[in-house]
Chain A
């Protein structure tokens, strides 16, 4: 690929001159073949959109390498940045954004990039920088792609959102309301959610209880949901780059921990771990009546429990909206084809394309510009009892506030998750387990 670059460097210069002199005049038809390498995971880069871009730009080859998320956002990216090599685009999941925000030198500041006229025909004007498109995206979600030094290192592909997926048939059996607005009214607060769970449990037969049935799949998921409804997590934005660690003093942490412990100790959860085989089977068998579900999980439920089609519905999360997951696309500072990569990125993440991805794969757009689009607002999913999922998730995600994320966020989340697990497994009482969390975190911070 490099050789072909050199061989056609003459043409490239012509193209560069054409771009720099008359941006808006003639499209640079001197299209040099270029290969954009993309490191990604899961379904972030969708195949049919790639095909669409290929039709738009026959000269562009998208070389896509998929890995598991943890090695991708961990070892692979660290290695790439230290060795000053790397792909042209990397997908970074939000659980890693706190970490990568601390290393802006590994990324191209997208405020400095300008679109070429390559995608004018597809509605992307030339000369657009990241600053220009910021307004199209959810404000708090955009912040997750902004580094400590305010440089923009990533543009969001999707936002997880978080609502309650519930089983209409099981709610009916337990004598609870089944209509989604009435269901949402059952739990204006998390305490009300737990109370509803208790009510549900009293309606279960002895045999059901013995079979391990419960109201929610895993009470541990409540913790993250409450944390994201706050304005601060483990760091306080004190004006410094790194922020100040406040995991041991933030009342939001205490609240989320206590509420989760309460839900666990009330016994409304099944204690089945998410993404285990037990979970997949339980989904089919109606072992649990609710799941706190991000938008991208809808596809997972459809795939794992196809026979439950129509039995599910989606209601609002207690309190006000939520989020779990999401990804942004970044251009590493050592990328070789930054311009081509940026042109692809601005096209791929434009509201229009994010909407297409939502309709086919259920990844919810981070581009808030789409939230008023009738195509999204009127989108109903028959699997979920024709719930207007577009509208429900859009309402939820717009209620969240930006949260300052820090370098050790993942490690802290992991330690607290383990602490909640110990209580759920009845290995420790809540007080002891929290003390253990603090000891573990002290090591994480100091060692």
Chain B
């Protein structure tokens, strides 16, 4: 980790250090024989990307300007889909829900993941590999199975959570489907449960990369365990936190299966209709493919905006790191 930081710090570090011996070219790598071979090597990926990545994107941009029916006639409508979308209250509701679920699933999860990583880093912990392995089990469980189990936890009448709450004298049963905040919490819990192990391992890996000397000298200076964590571990995790945040945001904007399993239409007042579920339902329930494509493009724009914000934050953090 620290090596990466150093390289990022020096601005003239070449992107391809293994090509240092090559002569300077106008288009480095392309005109040379090496470059042609290189193209051949990337061709499989490039072809796949063009067919399965770029082409669908361009196609969906194209159909977003149509009243599109894949089986019948389609009609060019210009920007109508977009103007309707901006006036559609469901769209704004979906944005609200998506970000609410994202926030509820990302931040508590990060704190818990860091906490778990600290526990797992403890040198006195027994059966480390066992714990590290089982942390990933939720991640490889199918979402459908998760929602069935969580359905039993969150059931309004016979759910375990409401059962426990009533033991503590809470007479009112929480409806984890109809309520806005409760439903978001239920979905966020499912996401957290699924991804926390993965993020813990990432945090753990970058914690293990922190040299022991730092902790030793901190201990010599009389730092408590908490101070060691606060002033040694946490600053070293900055880049990892950014990484986890970015990945979490991209995942968070694509939350689909969990709310769909809770109720396919996103709830009776669309209280947990997320952006991707909105897109899916417009395309495959209401058969509005052009409209759905427009939603997809709007999601892309939202991801772009967030990526730009992330980029600036990351740059700021890494600059701070070299100071």
Interface size of A in residues (CB-CB distance below 8 Å)? 41
Q: Which of A209-255 contact B (CB under 8 A)?
A: 212
Q: Is the CB of A418 within 8 A of B88?
A: no
**Segment from B198-206, B217-225, B279-287, B312-320 that makes contact with A:** B279-287
Q: Is the CB of B264 within 8 A of A282?
A: no
Q: Which of A368-397 contact B (CB under 8 A)?
A: none
A268 at the binding interface (Cβ < 8 Å): no
CB distance from A148 to the nearest CB of B (A): 11
Knowing A82-B70, A103-B71, A278-B155 are in contact, say whether A74-B284 is a contact too (CB < 8 A): yes
How many Å lie between the Cα of A422 and that of B285 in the bound state?
A: 20
**Chain B residues within 8 Å of A75, by CB:** 284
How many Å lie between the Cα of A75 and that of B71 in the bound state?
A: 12
How many Å lie between the Cα of A109 and that of B284 in the bound state?
A: 25
A281 at the binding interface (Cβ < 8 Å): yes
**Segment from B102-110, B112-120, B156-164 that makes contact with A:** B156-164
Q: Is the CB of B284 within 8 A of A278?
A: no
A78 at the binding interface (Cβ < 8 Å): yes
**Chain A residues within 8 Å of B178, by CB:** 421, 425, 427
How many Å lie between the Cα of A74 and that of B264 in the bound state?
A: 14
How many Å lie between the Cα of A95 and that of B90 in the bound state?
A: 24
Instruction: Determine chain B's interface SS by DSSP, over half rule.
Output: loop
Contact with B along A417-430 (1 / 0, CB 8 A): 11111101101100
A330 at the binding interface (Cβ < 8 Å): no
CB distance from A445 to the nearest CB of B (A): 9
Q: Is the CB of A277 within 8 A of B151?
A: yes
Interface size of B in residues (CB-CB distance below 8 Å)? 32
B269 at the binding interface (Cβ < 8 Å): yes
Residue of B71, B152, B158, B177 near A81 (CB, 8 A) is: B71
Knowing A276-B151, A425-B178 are in contact, say whether A418-B268 is a contact too (CB < 8 A): yes
Q: Is the CB of B156 within 8 A of A418?
A: no
CB distance from A290 to the nearest CB of B (A): 17
Residue of B156, B263, B265, B269 near A278 (CB, 8 A) is: B156
A192 at the binding interface (Cβ < 8 Å): no
A270 at the binding interface (Cβ < 8 Å): yes
Knowing A70-B264, A414-B285 are in contact, say whether A428-B269 is a contact too (CB < 8 A): yes
Residue of B84, B263, B268, B284 near A427 (CB, 8 A) is: B268
**Chain B residues within 8 Å of A444, by CB:** 286
CB distance from B143 to the nearest CB of A (A): 13
Q: Could you list 15 A-B pairs, sorted by A, with CB under 8 Å?
A: A74-B284, A82-B70, A103-B72, A272-B156, A281-B155, A281-B157, A282-B157, A285-B158, A287-B157, A414-B264, A418-B265, A443-B88, A444-B286, A447-B84, A447-B88
7 residue pairs, one from A and one from B, having the closest CB atoms: A421-B268, A425-B178, A278-B155, A281-B158, A74-B284, A277-B152, A418-B268
